[in-house]
Amino acid sequence: MIPVAGVENVRVAVLGLGRSGLSAARALRAGGAKAVCWDDNAAAREAAEAEGFACVDLMKPGAFEAVAALIVSPGIPHLYPEPNRVIAAAWAAGVPVDNDIGLFFRSLGGATWDRFDVAPRVVAVTGSNGKSTTSALIHHVLCAAGRDAQLAGNIGRGVLDIDPPGDGGVVVLELSSYQTELARALTPDVAVFTNISPDHLDRHGGMGGYFAAKRRLFAEGGPDRCVIGVDEVEGRFLANQLSEGVGDDRVIDVSVERKLTGPGWHVFARKGFLSEYRKGRQVGAIDLRAVAGLPGEHNHQNAACAYAVCRTLGLGPREIEKGFQSFGGLPHRSQLVGEKDGVRFVNDSKATNVDAAAMALKAFPRVRWICGGLEKDGGLGGLLEAAGSVVKAYVIGREAAKFAVQLHGFEVEVCGDMGTAVARAAAEAEPGEVVLLAPAAASFDQYDNFEKRGDHFREEVAKLL
């Protein structure tokens, strides 16, 4: 655990008692604070009370008297589409609002680090797509190379649940826009921007607000080195803002769309080959085509970002390649869950938006595509450009028919539920084809989260196998 610094004998309120909220309450208590907690869910309050935390309705008059700060869980909106009532009450009372990420960065380190030969470092990864795989891949490569590394944030453990890092240790954090938009402290040593595409627009008041939430990690954090995906205009804008001029190798540009050369530090992947260029010369390369855990162009972008981070942390190309080869991939992200009679079944339930689903479709030559769910803003137009590999789509979700009418250029069948979709796709699939779950939509119309949706796909496939 990372005890929160600077809160001894201070009263701090915690709103939201999921994983990050309870973790923050524990770390606050470990730092000497009195944590008062609230969650609208009675079961969550009971769990907190079982650990000895006082639960106080923060909407009651006087609830914020003598409260030094309000710590908010990431799923609770603080600005758009409208502020949560408790957050608005904290504003009115003049109480600073923060989250567990802010507590982590302000509490990490201290006088004990003076005894280290090599100070620990923090790598923070954000972006629309691929940040989970990129974070896990960085962590895996570091561990495979014998480095002390921990994985936390939006993946793995809560940021305050990790062990204090030791000499030369690396903490790898996956950070969502929900986490970066509110944290009052953001000071990673290395920051990564994978890519950006429309997502969570209601939460951020549009694309500009969404990008602004991501940009805070770089603009306010002042990292020593930045790895920036430059295949979107926002990435190119960000890289330009962070660079002090031509040849500034504190910014590493990453692309899967074009070769990057010239002054500076560049990593790009094209046609399955990753290349590293510095000062106009190639200094490293990896053949990604045979890396089973990283199929497709989208995973090659993840690999390029992870490669750049590991290089800046002192690993050599061959060490990184060895780590790539042993990486098994993440559940629900281009995860091979079975094969029968030459047909592969791949679970990419995490492809909850159009861009992520498009990348998944591009990774395979002939696809029986299971899609549908709670549609996000923007429609499916951009996805159809990447659907040339689709043999047939099998649509699920409560509004499957509405989703299906937007699909054209291939055969479409409205199935409604996962069991029907998997059975129909498997029955019609031919050797060499892939039955792919890549929903291009949120899961909340039928499932609690994308993990439950992916697990259901795996269960249905297991019945067939």
Residues that constitute the known binding site for ATP: 127-133
Asked whether the beta carbons of 37 and 14 are under 8 A apart, the reply is yes
Question: In whole angstroms, what is the distance from residue 114 CA to residue 109 CA?
Answer: 9
Q: Which amino acid type is present at position 221?
A: G
Residue list for the binding site: 127-133
15 closest CA partner among 102, 103, 85, 93 = 85
| DSSP assignment string, 146-168 | T--EEEEESSSB-TTTSPPP-TT
Tokens coding 125: 């990864």
Give me the residues paired with residue 149 across strands: 170
402-441 burial: b if 16+ Cβ within 10 Å, else e:
ebbeebeeeebebbbebebbbbbbbebbeeebbbbbbbbb
Sheet of strand 434-437, all strands in order from the earlier edge strand to the far edge: 335-340, 343-347, 434-437, 367-371, 390-396, 411-416
E-strand stretches of 158-211:
170-174, 190-193
CA 32 to chain centre: 31
Return the biggest CA–CA distance within the chain.
67
How many alpha carbons fall within 13 Å on the CB side of residue 90? 23
Are 453 and 439 in contact by the 8 Å Cβ rule? The answer is yes
Residue 264 identity? G
Vertex 190: Cα angle to 185 and 192 (nearest 5): 95
What is the distance between the alpha carbons of residues 170 and 128, in angstroms, rounded to a whole number?
23
